[in-house]
Amino acid sequence: MADVLAADMSTKAGVHDALFRPYTIRDLTLRNRIVMAPMTRSKSPGSVPGPDVAAYYRRRAENEVGLIVTEGTTVDHPVSSMDVDIPNFYGDALAGWRRVVEEVHAVGGAIAPQLWHVGSARRADGKVHNPDVPSASPSGYSRPGKRFGDPMTDDDIRSVVRGFADGARNAREIGFDAIEIHGAHGYLIDQFFWEALNERDDAYGGSAAARGRFAVDIVEAVRKEVGDDYPIIFRFSQWKQQDYDAKLARTPEELGAFLAPLSAAGVDAFHCSQRRFWEPEFEGSDLNLAGWTKKLTGKPSITVGSVGLTGEFISAFAGESSEAAPIDDLVARVERGEFDLVAVGRALLVDAAWARKIHEGRTDELAPFTREALATLS
Ligand SMILES: Cc1cc2nc3c(=O)[nH]c(=O)nc-3n(C[C@H](O)[C@H](O)[C@H](O)COP(=O)(O)O)c2cc1C
Task: Please report the atom of ligand 1 found closest to the CA of residue 37.
Answer: 17
Distance CA 297, CA 291 (A): 10
23 catalytic? Reply is no
The sign of the dihedral angle between the CA atoms of 330, 349, 120, 245 is: positive
221 Cβ inside 6 Å of ligand 1: no
Pocket test for ligand 1, best of 34, 36, 40 (most atoms within 8 A of CB): 40
Per-residue model confidence (pLDDT) at position 332: 96
Tally the C-alpha atoms within 13 A of residue 65's C-alpha that lie toward its C-beta: 30
**Residue boundaries of the structural domains of the chain:** 2-375
Task: Give me the amino acid identity at 196.
Answer: A
**Pick the catalytic residue: 23, 57, 187, 204?**
187
38 CB less than 6 Å from ligand 1?
Answer: yes
Integer Rg of the chain from CA? 20
Q: Which of 39, 74, 349 to mutate to test the pocket of ligand 1 (most atoms within 8 A of CB)?
A: 39
Looking at the CA of residue 273, tell me the nearest atom of ligand 1.
19
pLDDT in the model for residue 8: 36
**Residue 81: predicted pLDDT:** 98
Expressed in angstroms and rounded, the spacing between residue 38 Cα and the centre of ligand 1 is 6
Give kind and range of the element (H or E) at residue 113.
strand 110-116
Angle at 227 between CA 225 and CA 229, to 5 degrees: 145
Query: What is 18-87 written as a DSSP string?
Result: GGGS-EEETTEEESSSEEEPP------GGG---HHHHHHHHHHHHTT-SEEEEEEEE-SSTT--S-TTSP
Residues of the chain with pLDDT under 70: 1-15
pLDDT digits (tens, 9 = 90+) for 2-26: 333 333 333 345 668 999 999 999 9
**Strands 28-30 vs 341-344: parallel, antiparallel or unpaired:** unpaired
User: What pLDDT, on a 0 to 100 scale, did the predictor assign at position 36?
Assistant: 98
pLDDT of residue 6: 38
Ligand 1 centroid–CA 343 distance in Å is 10
> From atom 14 of ligand 1, which residue's Cα is the shortest distance away?
39
Cα(174) to ligand 1 centroid in Å equals: 24
Give the global pTM.
0.96
Ligand 1 centroid–CA 309 distance in Å is 13
223: left (phi over 0), alpha (psi -120 to 50) or beta: alpha
Q: How many CA atoms lie within 13 A of 203 on its CB side?
A: 9
Per-residue pLDDT of 232-267, as tens digits, reads 999 999 999 999 999 999 999 999 999 999 999 999
Instruction: Dump pLDDT digits (tens) for 39-49.
Output: 999 999 999 99
Could you tell me the fold of the domain covering 2-375?
A: TIM Barrel (3.20.20)
Which amino acid, residue 277? Answer: F
pLDDT on residue 15: 63
Q: Going by CA atoms, what residue is nearest to atom 25 of ligand 1?
A: 306
Q: Are 301 and 269 in contact (CB under 8 A)?
A: yes
Ligand 1 binding pocket includes 87 (Cβ within 6 Å): no
Is the shortest distance between the CB of 305 and ligand 1 below 6 Å? yes
